[in-house]
Each structure stands twice: as structure tokens, then as C-alpha cells.
């Protein structure tokens, strides 16, 4: 059982996504960084139980969300059942990302769970899937964790060093880092 699966099995909301003041503030900041849309096609990496997905959905014509936990993906499907333009995928990134183009990609507290090699493969994939002028929004909790091979700083420095990503917005005032980029 993966670490993510182990967290979701005993609790329907293991990180308190629905009631946490931290999560609410992060969701509000992430939505602001995304912009009002409308987005033709959006991708959310690491959607978990779909709390943020549900908030993002009204801004999108189509929205794909992916999570490695079968339990979380199943819970997200139930939460989002009344939103036919949202598709929930159970799978690991980058391999489960569908072969289509997106004008918005959101990576919230997911990229630091990847190994350095997986992060590089994921960035190559994001580059191939994000349309020119499309937006990438990344947000990650600052404190390090034993279960995460990378830190928020590692991930965001790597993104900021990428020549095909043009920085648009940065928020480092809270206990998370939030960057938005435009694909040049």
C-alpha cells in the first residue's frame, strides 16, 4: 500500500482539507493565482479527495484531476459526480497524465513527493501538455517531511530556473510557496 493510500484508508479527510484554515487560505490564494478563467482544459496533479477540484471546476470547460491513491480518487469521483465536465483519474504522475493539451495545470503539494528523476520527467511532460501562453500554478508547504524527497524550495527553484516558464506571480509570505508561470 502506497503512503498516500495508507493515509486515505482510515480517514475520509486525512489532511483536513474540508475544515482546515490553512487549506482554505491556500485554496483561495491558489484560485487567485489561477485567475478567473474560463479555462478550456485544465489539469490538476494530485487532486486527492477533490476539495480544491470542486472549487476550480466552475472556471473550467473541462478539468482532469489525478491522484495516486485509489481511495482518494474514488472519494473525488463521488464528490464530483454532479460535474460531468470533470474527469478523475487514478494513477501516478507523470505516467497517468492524459495525452492532451491544457491551458492550466495546477500542482498543489504534489511535486515534492517525486524523486528528482520523476520531477524532471514530469516537467518534460508538463512542457509538452501546456499550451503556449498557458499557466502553471505550483503551491507547496514549506516544512520538510521525511516522506518527501524534495522540499518546496527545491521544487520552486527548479521551476523558476526553467527557461520555458515565465514567472507571473510569487507568494512566499505564508507557510507555503506559491508560484504561477506562463508558458512562453
pLDDT in tens, 42-76: 999 999 999 999 999 999 999 999 999 999 999 99
DSSP state of 68: S
Torsion sign (Cα): 89, 16, 122, 131? positive
Q: Domains, the chain, ranges and CATH?
A: 3-183 (3.40.50.150)
Ranking 78-87, 93-102, 165-174 by mean pLDDT, the lowest is 165-174
Res. 83 pLDDT band, cuts 50 70 90: very high
Please give the grid coordinates belonging to residue 171: 507568494
Give CA–CA dist 142/74, Å, rounded: 28
**What three-state secondary structure class fits 30?**
helix
Residue 123 scores a pLDDT above 70: yes
pTM comes to 0.90
Amino acid at each position: 500500500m502506497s503512503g498516500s493510500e495508507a493515509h486515505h484508508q482510515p480517514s475520509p479527510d486525512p489532511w483536513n482539507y474540508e475544515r482546515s484554515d490553512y487549506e482554505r487560505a491556500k485554496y483561495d490564494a491558489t484560485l487567485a493565482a489561477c485567475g478567473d478563467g474560463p479555462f478550456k482544459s485544465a489539469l490538476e496533479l494530485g487532486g486527492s479527495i477533490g476539495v480544491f477540484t470542486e472549487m476550480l471546476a466552475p472556471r473550467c470547460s473541462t478539468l482532469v484531476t489525478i491522484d495516486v491513491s485509489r481511495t482518494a480518487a474514488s472519494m473525488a469521483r463521488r464528490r464530483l459526480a454532479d460535474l460531468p465536465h470533470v474527469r478523475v483519474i487514478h494513477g501516478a504522475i507523470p505516467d497517468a497524465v492524459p495525452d492532451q493539451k491544457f491551458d492550466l495545470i495546477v500542482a498543489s503539494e504534489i511535486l515534492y513527493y517525486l524523486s528528482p528523476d520523476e520531477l524532471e520527467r514530469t516537467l518534460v511532460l508538463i512542457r509538452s501538455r501546456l499550451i503556449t501562453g498557458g499557466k502553471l500554478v505550483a503551491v507547496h508547504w514549506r516544512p520538510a517531511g521525511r516522506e518527501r524527497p524534495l522540499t518546496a524550495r527545491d521544487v520552486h527553484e527548479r521551476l523558476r530556473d526553467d527557461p520555458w516558464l515565465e514567472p507571473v506571480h510569487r507568494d512566499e509570505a505564508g507557510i507555503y510557496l506559491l508560484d504561477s508561470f506562463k508558458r512562453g
